[in-house]
Amino acid sequence: MLRIKNLEAGYGPLKVLRKVSLHIDPGEIVTVIGANGAGKTTLLKTVSGLLAPRGGEILFERNTIRKVSAERIVSLGCSLVPEGRQLFAPMTVRENLILGACVQYRRRRHGEVTEDMDRVFGLFPRLREREDQLAGTLSGGEQQMLAIGRALLSRPRMLLLDEPSMGLAPRMVREIFTHIMHLRKEFGLTILLVEQNARGALGVADRGYVLETGRMVLQGPSGELLSNKNVQRAYLGWSSEESA
Amino acid sequence: MFWEAERECMNREELEQLQFERLQSTLNRIYSHVPFYRKKFDALGILPEDIGSLADFSRLPFTAKEDLRKSYPYGFFAVPLREVVRIHASSGTTGAATVVGYTQNDVRIWSNLTARILTMGGVTKDDVVQIAFGYGLFTGGFGLHYGAERIGASVIPASSGNTLRQIKIMMDFKTTALISTPSYAMLVAETIREQGIPLAALSLKYGLFGAEPWSERTRREIQENLGITATDNYGLSEIIGPGVSGECREQNGLHINEDHFLVEVVDPETLRPMPEGETGELVITSLTKEAFPMIRYRTRDLTSLLPGHCPCGRTLRRMARVRERTDDMLIVKGVNVFPSQIESILFEIEGTEPHYQIVIEREGALDEVTVLVEVGETIFFDQMRRQRDMMENIRKRLAQELGISVEVKLVERKTIARTEGKAQRVIDNRRL
């Protein structure tokens, strides 16, 4: 579905991604875990076309999207749920969702938008209850649901999720991860999930990659990464004595 | 039957992406954790990120057995010892031992890979698997043991030795699969015949043999004498142990677990890659090992990568059976001789047994080679003429093939010492 080879990206003199390669097969949930500053957000920004790569290849469904614009990538079926939600706070829940459907509007499929909105409300009933409320007044978890819902309205086949659990209460974090599993089951989505919450992310992902200072240092099925001592120490907060 | 069809039958393009991703992270890890590699890379002016494709790979340095010996015992470990759950050591067939380590994940992956090999050879969860490899520092016993357990077979950790007891276990426990060296399987077959045990008393169906070179003729003998399908498998402790490659029941070369190991075949002298189908030294890079990753390890085993597809459906490339090692090569009277050349000639000659030994002496400045060949009883009871003709025949054929003259001695069956581990084919008494 998505194949990245030797991706290089950065800001000014700063090299952030140093030849990163990864792939996601259709229907997979794959996570990239790493510390703050490892390059996770840069990776998603580059894939979604918000940042131009300096080298490497990005293939989405076998076609290169390296020089494709961000809005075109969305209409190809790959949507980003950005870090920190990036909602339009003074607009209502409904208006935020409609903004996500602008690709559909351009295709003049107005009727389908209402249908899609119903599906999002089906997934997140709490958003229906708050349909006319301003996005800025929602709780963190609700805002995250809205950000995901907005991305779903572009009818993606693949979703890029940037730290969906950030800043949420522990109970809400669990709920968001459960929703991610539902997204695959009910919307047939392929998901690339970037997370600092390694335990939660590896709990829902099929496979994972570990990104350290812009380099992939480890990868494998989630179970394998969870039992890797380095991952445990660096990302799961275990000391080796505890895990022994 | 596949153990992991989605991997073993993977589309080549996807496999290459996976190999490349795994290679990149292996390089990133060894560069920061193994001083030997960091120094080598720095000396060559390469950073892990300079390797942008599988083709760039040939810029990386080789690792030789000598390098491992110099780093005895833990110099090549890429993780702290507290993350290592298992330590093995190479059998030291040819020199000092080398020490290898495994993390929990390494052991898990290893079991999975030997499970693939066992499945290729026919083993299923319904089998009773007798492992007659040594359990201990040698990787053979434990490696295949864990794989057989993973499959869900009933595993008998018989270990090596005590052939009569092995055969009793085989009969009483209704063993269906034997795991050992091929020479041990020959010894078992011979003992069964001597004891007058009918094949019907055994339940054996499969044999998976490895850890030493063997020939097609030995395979035929083992298959006939034990009534089994015999397959070859290959591995070495420096890479992981058994689990690197194995034959499926097509018996046409060993499928390499390429999603975990990147293989090359190079000319042992020039170190340039050999074209597909041509024999050279096997060089292996591990792609998933955590504790003991290896970059371009020179195995000193000679093989070739086989062209074409296997009818079994696996897309994993195949290597030819390893018949000899670069360091098996004998220099006799200035001529390069591989024991396998002698073996293949003996096996073409009617009446010889698959046991032989090559003895080299030095008389003054001259090398004398004597090949001891076991022959069936009938030849000894028969006329002297036939014996002489046979000796003459072998001598001539060997001289033709090797370009040097050798002495041939016919000996009775069981004259040559049988081993429970790796067979000793060459006795070099020269003081060089």
Same domain for A148 and A195 = no
Chain B residues with beta carbon closer than 8 angstroms to that of A240: 82-83
Report the number of distinct structural domains present in chain A: 2
| pLDDT score at B364 | 74
Determine the Cα–Cα distance for residues A208 and B355; give it in Å rounded to an integer: 52
A221 and A163 in one domain? yes
- Which CATH number goes with the domain that contains A54? 3.40.50.300
Residues of A in contact with B20 (CB under 8 A): 5, 21
Superfamily classification of domain B329-428: ANL, C-terminal domain (3.30.300.30)
Instruction: Tell whether A82 is covered by a domain.
Output: no
pLDDT for A242 equals 46
Task: Residue B274: count other Cβ atoms within 10 Å of its Cβ.
Answer: 18
Composition of chain A by helix, strand, coil, percent to 5: 45, 25, 30
With contact defined as beta carbons under 8 Å apart, do B299 and B283 qualify?
Answer: yes
Instruction: Indicate whether A186 and A207 sit together in one domain.
Output: yes
Radius of gyration of chain A (CA): 18
pLDDT of residue B55: 83
Average pLDDT over residues A138-152: 93
How many A-B residue pairs are in contact by the CB < 8 A criterion?
62
Give contacts of A212 with chain B, Cβ < 8 Å: 28
pTM here is: 0.85
| Minimal CA separation from B146 to chain A, in Å | 17
Asked if B170 contacts B128 with a C-beta cutoff of 8 angstroms, the reply is no
CA quadruple B130, B132, B138, B141: dihedral, nearest 10: 0
The predicted structure's pLDDT at residue A53: 95
The minimal CB distance from A219 to the residues B21, B32, B108 is found for B21
Same domain, residue pair A217 and A106: no
In chain A, what residues touch B49 (CB-CB under 8 Å)?
Answer: 18-19, 215
**Nearest by CB to A229, which of B17, B24, B103?**
B103
The b-or-e profile of A127-153 (16+ CB within 10 A means b, else e) is beebeeebbeebebbbbbbbbbbbbbb
Domain end call among A153, A178, A202: A153
Residues A169 and A54 in one domain: yes
- CA-based angle A73:A77:A78, to the nearest 5? 60
Q: Are B296 and B62 in contact (CB under 8 A)?
A: yes
Domain ranges of chain B: 1-327, 329-428
Give the Cβ contact number of residue B270 at 10 Å: 9
Are B197 and B215 in contact by the 8 Å Cβ rule? The answer is no
- Interface residues of A toward B, Cβ cutoff 8 Å, are 3, 5-6, 18-19, 21-23, 25, 209-210, 212, 215-220, 224, 227-230, 240, 244
Identify the CATH homologous superfamily for domain B1-327: ANL, N-terminal domain (3.40.50.12780)
What is the percentage of chain B residues whose pLDDT exceeds 90? 65
CA distance B287 to A220: 11
CA distance B405 to B381: 28
Domain range for A216: 2-77+156-243
Pair A98, A169 in one domain: no
User: A173, A165 in Cβ contact below 8 A?
Assistant: yes
Nearest to B45 by CA among B34, B61, B33: B61
Residue of A nearest to B14 (CA): A23
Residue B428: its pLDDT value, please?
82
Same domain, A149 and A166: no
Q: In this predicted structure, what is the pLDDT of residue B94? A: 52
Q: Cis bond leading into B198, ω under 30°? A: no
The residue from A101, A120, A153 where one domain ends is A153
Return the closest-CA partner of residue B431 out of B362, B335, B334: B362
Mean pLDDT of B13-31: 95
pLDDT at position A239 is: 54
Quick one: A109 and A213 in the same domain? no
Residue corresponding to tokens 């009793």: B168
**pLDDT at residue B240 above 90?**
yes
Mean pLDDT along residues B223-238? 96
Nearest residue of chain A to residue B49 (CA atoms):
A19
Point out which residues pair with B231 in neighbouring strands: B208
Name chain B contacts of A21, Cβ cutoff 8 Å. Answer: 17, 20-21, 24
Tell me which residues of chain B, numbers 248 to 307, contact chain A at a CB-CB cutoff of 8 Å. 288, 290
Q: By the CB < 8 Å criterion, does B52 face chain A?
A: yes
pLDDT-derived band of residue A241, with 50, 70 and 90 as boundaries? very low
Distance in angstroms (rounded) separating the CA atoms of residues B121 and A15: 49
Cα dihedral A133, A137, A140, A141, rounded to 10, equals: -20
Residue A43: partners with Cβ closer than 8 Å, 6 or more residues away: A7, A9, A17, A20, A32, A194, A211
Distance from CA of B254 to the nearest CA of A (A): 25
**Which residue, of A108, A136, A153, is where some domain finishes?**
A153
Rounded Cα distance between B403 and B2, Å, is 46
Instruction: Give domain status of residue A176, yes or no.
Output: yes
Question: Parallel, antiparallel, or unpaired: how do β-strands B229-236 and B241-247 relate?
Answer: antiparallel
CA atoms within 13 A on the CB side of B68: 26
Q: Residue B199 carries which DSSP code?
A: G
Which of B84, B104, B105, B287 to mutate to probe the A interface, most A CBs <10 Å?
B105
Cβ proximity of A176 and A165 under 8 Å: yes
Q: A242: exposed, middle or buried (C-beta count within 10 Å: 0-12, 13-18, 19+)?
A: exposed
Q: Are A219 and B79 a contacting pair at CB < 8 A? A: no
Q: How many CB atoms lie within 10 A of CB A179?
A: 18
Residue type, A154: S
Pick the more confident residue, B422 or B257.
B257
Output the CA angle B416-B422-B425, nearest 5 degrees.
45
- Domain assignment present for A166: yes
**Residue B421: predicted pLDDT:** 67
Per-residue pLDDT at B148 exceeds 90: yes
Q: What is the pLDDT of residues A152-197, one digit of tens each?
A: 999 999 999 999 999 899 999 999 999 999 999 988 999 999 999 9
